[in-house]
């Protein structure tokens, strides 16, 4: 009988603690999940023995993916990288990582890109997740940590404003921490849709602010305006702990509530209620918190929107005080560690900047290379996708644990780009839709088969422990990176393959940086110490709460940032009269590459649907349960009509977990927030068409029928993949 192993859920940033015995999972008492798991966590071990598990490398021969040896696969990858760089220069090879990678893998991937490949072009899936909040946090606080306080601090809150988040579905155990506020009418949810979180707020006599999609920034400015003009501002706090209020106010003053009401559709009286609820909790000492998530971020003015929400929190005097604060709820398992340890474009480990000579010198020393040889800042995710296969762009791409064929905006164009590459390499443990397009697929280990660390949404570093033996065949990314680095001319010892060894190097790489891990060791974590970065020394206790004395800016003050709404890039018009907004479901995770393969989750989530008001369906001649084609300027998506009288009559909600014809990202707009590179997932103009021909079940279509490229046929053909898991 195997012994239970204490580890954490592989899916989201809450990092619920669990005990794994063989392939059986049970929740563990831990501050973030308090002995609870969601459906995804309970079923997380199902994939360990799934028949779709990849066990051997695959290479494309005669148009089909066929099993091969590791030596052959890696030889082809190294040769392909060298060939692409010989033609297009060092930056012709791109690397795309993931917020699901452990800290050690994210770190080594960044080093591999900059040192072994010498390319500037590395970015990761977190660009879609919280890049805007990251940028806004840096602007206002001087450092980017999702929650600058432990999740459990929310337990004492009298009011919590969730601006653009739906934790009741994305991370259900998180809701325990909102219960005290929700039960006393203090939960406020900003969301165009009456989500499960909004319903919880309403049940407790809280507030649901159902704004027009794409108007988050005017709303945030109007709330701040109200706070200032109605006497809710904490003037002493603004004077003592912030800078830039006057410049901010010069812009925000133009967004008086009545003007914002016209744009957002939110009544002034409700805006007042929101601000008053937060202030009442603050003033009675019950604690007031403001949280943002993807709903505030995934806009072309996402960074500015989060800056405006932060401004509201600053005006109310909530940040950097015990019992109150602002935070961003990170989505992916290692969304936090993944972005601060070197796989983000332009960023070196610890939030060091690749453009800063001192930071380059530090990393050059740790890595044993000439800092002058390190590349500069590269392209962000969508910029890289736009450059796939283009002259002077990316000729070869390595994708590690991401399924960009489903998760990227304007996915059909991304798929075209992937098909035009000289070489596409995908590291994954299942044949995701992106892997189906690859020239080489390298099978990797799963979460329970490996060691490492992750950093949760509250900045706490956690141990991931091996709880089951790895099957023969797949390899850790650490081994893959070392092998490729050696084939590219690097010394093997520059790319360690053991996670503890990589972590030791990572500690040195981040020493003295904003996200300082140097005082964190496996031993301290295994001893049960709760270590939050920055942790600059072996005797340092870590920093659960940031900003209590000062912010991480040069003058120690939080900065107000003046912002001006730009509005959605694609408002509704006569051709496309509705607005689509995308989001997640309780029983699915991100692109669904994993969770669509778990039978219980696939059954619970059901097929792809388009949620709309019954009147909207009726106007299109549709009823609940009908097939519909949702059409934008970029493509069409097949879905089933789900009528819901709580929906706004101008809005259609689309979950983004489904592939092929059912992919919501065939519709979304790849327009970017210029400050963060965040795509505008949350709003695009659409219309509803009755299907011209009955399509196959939207959930089970894994092909892209929009392109005539030769690989379309290859994906449709039976792919020779290994089956079964020992
Ligand atoms: Fe896993 Fe997140 Fe669910 Fe917790 S809330 S069990 S971390 S998916």
Residue 542 CA to ligand 1 center (angstroms) comes to 24
Asked if 367 and 508 count as a contact pair (C-beta separation under 8 A), the reply is no
Residue whose CA is closest, atom 6 of ligand 1?
A: 41
Tabulate helix, strand, coil % of the chain (nearest 5).
Answer: 40, 20, 45
Closest CA to 724 of 23, 22, 54: 54
The pLDDT value given to residue 723: 27
Predicted local confidence at residue 693, as pLDDT: 62
Q: Could you say which DSSP state residue 116 is in?
A: I
Nearest atom within ligand 1 for CA of residue 37: 6
Cβ atoms of residues 477 and 400 within 8 Å: yes
Best residue among 8, 11, 454, 594 to mutate for probing ligand 1's pocket (most ligand atoms within 8 Å of CB) is 11
pLDDT at 433: 97
Contact between 207 and 201 (Cβ < 8 Å): yes
pLDDT for 249-274, tens place per residue?
999 999 999 999 999 999 999 999 99
Taking each continuous run of H as one helix and of E as one strand, the counts in the chain are 25, 29
pLDDT of 409 above 90? yes
For a pocket test of ligand 1, which of 19, 26, 27, 33 has the largest count of ligand atoms closer than 8 A to its C-beta?
33
What is the predicted pLDDT for the residue at 129?
85
| pLDDT tens-digit readout, 546-565 | 999 999 999 999 999 999 99
pLDDT for 253 equals: 97
For 445-450, which contacts have Cβ atoms below 8 Å and span 24 or more sequence positions? Answer: 445/470, 445/474, 445/475, 445/476, 446/10, 446/47, 446/48, 447/7, 447/10, 447/44, 448/5, 448/7, 448/10, 448/20, 448/45, 448/48, 449/48, 449/474, 450/102, 450/476, 450/499
Classify 547 as helix, strand or coil.
coil
d(CA 231, CA 376): 48
**Backbone region of residue 323 per phi and psi (left: phi > 0; alpha: psi in -120 to 50; beta: other values):** left
The SS3 of residue 471 is: coil
Count other C-beta atoms under 10 Å from residue 644's C-beta.
16
Spacing, Cα 14 to ligand 1 middle (Å): 6
Q: What is the mean pLDDT of residues 353-357?
A: 97
- Would the pLDDT of 1 be above 90? no
Look at residue 317 and give its three-state secondary structure: coil
Q: Which residue(s) pair with 640 in the sheet? A: 609, 627
Find the 456 Cα to ligand 1 centroid distance in Å.
Answer: 11
State CA 463 to chain mean position distance: 20
Rounded Cα gap, residues 344 and 131, in angstroms: 10
Residue 325 gets the label, from left (phi > 0), alpha (psi -120 to 50) or beta, of left
CA dist., res. 74 & res. 483, Å (int): 8
What is the structure's pLDDT at 608? 97
The HSE-up count of residue 610 (CA atoms within 13 Å, CB side) is 36
* 704-708-710-716 Cα dihedral, nearest 10 degrees: 40
* Euclidean distance between CA atoms 343 and 333, whole angstroms: 15
Q: Which atom of ligand 1 is nearest to the CA of 32?
A: 4
pLDDT confidence bin for 694, thresholds 50/70/90: low
> Closest Cα to residue 680, out of 160, 295, 235, 195?
295
SS3 sequence of 641-667: EEECCCCCCCEEEEECCCCHHHCHHHC
Q: Over the stretch 445-493, which tens digit does the pLDDT of each residue have?
A: 999 999 999 999 999 999 999 999 999 999 999 999 999 999 999 999 9
- Residue closest via CA to ligand 1's atom 4 equals 16
Which amino acids bring their CB within 6 angstroms of ligand 1?
Answer: 9, 11-12, 14-16, 33, 37-38, 40-41, 171-173
Residue-level pLDDT at 704: 37
Determine the residue of 26, 151, 172 to mutate for testing ligand 1's pocket, defined as the one with the most ligand atoms within 8 A of the Cβ atom. 172
- Is residue 706 scored above 70 in pLDDT? no
pLDDT digits (tens, 9 = 90+) for 623-658: 999 999 999 999 999 999 999 999 999 999 999 999
CA of 16 from ligand 1 middle (Å) equals 6
The mean pLDDT of 531-560, rounded to a whole number, is 97
As beta bridge partners, residue 17 has 8
* C-alpha span between 165 and 209 (Å, rounded): 12
Residue 11 Cα: closest atom of ligand 1:
8
Task: Please give the helix or strand (H or E) that residue 303 lies within, else none.
Answer: helix 302-315
18 near 37, Cβ under 8 Å?
Answer: yes
**pLDDT value of residue 100:** 93
Mean model confidence pLDDT for the chain: 94
- 176 CA distance to ligand 1 middle (Å): 13
Three-class DSSP category at 89: coil
Ligand 1 atom 1 nearest Cα: 41
Can you tell me the distance from the alpha carbon of 106 to that of 394, in angstroms, rounded to the nearest whole number? 21
Task: State the first-to-last Cα distance of the chain, in angstroms, to the nearest integer.
Answer: 17
**pLDDT > 90: percent of the chain:** 93
Instruction: Give 230 Cα–ligand 1 centroid separation in angstroms.
Output: 40
Specify the range with the lowest mean pLDDT, choosing from 176-180, 202-206, 534-538, 722-726.
722-726
**Distance from the CA of 211 to the center of ligand 1, in angstroms?**
28
**239 confidence band (pLDDT: 50, 70, 90):** very high
Residues 433 and 659 sit within 8 Å (Cβ to Cβ): yes
User: Pairing between strand 207-209 and 93-97?
Assistant: unpaired
Helices (H), 316-356: 335-340
Distance in angstroms (rounded) separating the CA atoms of residues 429 and 401: 8
Q: Is the pLDDT of residue 77 over 80?
A: yes
Best of 7, 10, 16 for a ligand 1 pocket test (most atoms within 8 Å of beta carbon): 16
d(CA 148, CA 665): 32
Q: Considering only CA atoms, which of 300, 215, 296, 196 is closest in space to residue 262?
A: 215
Going by pLDDT thresholds of 50, 70 and 90, the confidence category of residue 94 is: very high
pLDDT at 213 over 50: yes
User: Residue 2: what pLDDT?
Assistant: 74
Left (φ > 0), alpha (ψ -120 to 50) or beta: where does 285 sit? left
Whether residue 711 has pLDDT greater than 70: no
H, E, C per residue of 66-82: EECCHHHHHHHHHHHHH
Helix (H) or strand (E) holding 353: strand 352-353
Nearest residue by C-alpha to atom 3 in ligand 1: 38
Contact present, 128 and 381 (Cβ < 8 Å): yes
For residue 33, give the ligand 1 atom closest to its CA. 4
Residue 366 belongs to what H/E stretch? helix 357-367
Report the predicted TM-score, pTM, of the whole model to 2 decimal places: 0.94
């Amino acid at each position: 009988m195997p012994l239970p192993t204490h580890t954490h859920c592989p899916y989201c940033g809450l990092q619920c603690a669990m005990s794994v015995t063989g392939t059986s999972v049970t929740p563990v008492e831990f501050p973030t999940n308090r002995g609870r798991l969601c459906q995804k966590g309970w079923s997380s071990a199902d994939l360990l023995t799934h028949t779709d598990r990849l066990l051997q490398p695959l290479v494309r021969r005669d148009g089909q993916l066929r099993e091969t040896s590791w030596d052959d696969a890696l030889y082809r990858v190294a040769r392909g990288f060298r060939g692409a760089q010989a033609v297009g220069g060092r930056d012709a090879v791109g690397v795309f990582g993931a917020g699901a990678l452990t800290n050690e893998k994210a770190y080594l991937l960044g080093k591999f890109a900059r040192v072994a490949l010498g390319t500037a072009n590395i970015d990761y899936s977190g660009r879609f997740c919280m890049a805007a909040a990251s940028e806004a946090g840096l602007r206002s606080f001087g450092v980017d940590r999702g929650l600058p306080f432990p999740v459990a601090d929310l337990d004492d809150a009298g009011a919590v404003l969730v601006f653009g988040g739906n934790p009741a579905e994305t991370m259900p155990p998180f809701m325990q921490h909102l219960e005290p506020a929700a039960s006393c009418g203090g939960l406020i949810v900003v969301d165009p849709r009456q989500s499960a979180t909004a319903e919880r707020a309403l049940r407790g006599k809280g507030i649901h602010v159902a704004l027009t999609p794409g108007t988050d920034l005017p709303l945030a400015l109007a709330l701040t305006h109200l706070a200032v003009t109605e006497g809710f501002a904490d003037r002493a706090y603004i004077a003592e702990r912030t800078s830039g209020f006057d410049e901010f106010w010069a812009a925000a003053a133009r967004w008086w509530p009545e003007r914002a009401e016209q744009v957002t559709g939110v009544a002034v009286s409700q805006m007042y209620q929101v601000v008053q609820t937060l202030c009442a909790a603050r003033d009675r000492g019950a604690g007031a918190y403001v949280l943002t998530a993807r709903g505030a971020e995934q806009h072309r003015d996402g960074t500015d929107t989060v800056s405006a929400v932060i401004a509201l929190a600053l005006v109310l005097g909530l940040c950097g005080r015990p019992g109150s604060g602002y935070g961003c709820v990170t989505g992916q398992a290692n969304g936090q560690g993944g972005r601060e340890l070197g796989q983000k474009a332009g960023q070196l480990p610890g939030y060091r900047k690749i453009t800063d000579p001192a930071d380059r010198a530090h990393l050059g020393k740790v890595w044993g290379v000439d800092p002058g040889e390190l590349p500069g800042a590269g392209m962000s995710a969508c910029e890289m996708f736009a450059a796939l296969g283009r002259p002077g762009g990316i000729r070869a791409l390595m994708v590690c644990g991401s399924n960009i064929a489903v998760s990227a905006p304007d996915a059909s164009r991304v798929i075209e780009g992937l098909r035009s590459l000289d070489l596409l390499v995908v590291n994954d443990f299942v044949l995701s839709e992106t892997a189906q397009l690859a020239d080489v697929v390298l099978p990797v280990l799963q979460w329970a088969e490996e060691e490492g660390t992750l950093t949760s949404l509250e900045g706490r570093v956690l141990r991931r422990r091996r709880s089951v033996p790895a099957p023969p065949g797949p390899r850790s990314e650490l081994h893959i990176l070392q092998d490729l680095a050696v084939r590219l001319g690097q010394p093997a010892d520059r790319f360690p393959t053991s996670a503890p060894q990589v972590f030791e190097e990572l500690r040195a790489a981040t020493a003295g940086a904003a996200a300082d891990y140097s005082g964190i060791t496996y031993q301290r974590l295994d001893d049960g110490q709760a270590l939050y970065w920055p942790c600059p020394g072996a005797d340092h206790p870590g920093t659960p709460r940031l900003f209590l004395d000062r912010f991480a800016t040069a003058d120690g003050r939080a900065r107000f940032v003046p912002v001006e709404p730009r509005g959605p890039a694609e408002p509704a018009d006569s051709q496309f009269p509705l607005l689509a907004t995308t989001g997640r479901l309780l029983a699915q995770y991100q692109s669904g590459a994993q969770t669509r393969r778990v039978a219980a989750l696939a059954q619970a989530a059901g097929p792809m649907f388009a949620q709309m008001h019954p009147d909207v369906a009726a106007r299109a001649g549709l009823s609940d349960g009908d097939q519909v084609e949702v059409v934008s300027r970029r493509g069409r998506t097949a879905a089933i009509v789900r009528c819901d009288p709580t929906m706004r009559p101008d809005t259609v909600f689309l979950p983004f977990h489904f592939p092929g014809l059912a992919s919501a990202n065939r519709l979304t707009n790849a327009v970017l927030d210029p400050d963060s590179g965040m795509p505008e997932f949350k709003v695009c103009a659409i219309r509803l068409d009755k299907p011209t021909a009955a399509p196959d079940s939207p959930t089970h279509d894994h092909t892209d029928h929009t392109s005539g490229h030769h690989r379309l046929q290859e994906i449709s053909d039976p792919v020779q993949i290994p089956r079964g898991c020992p």
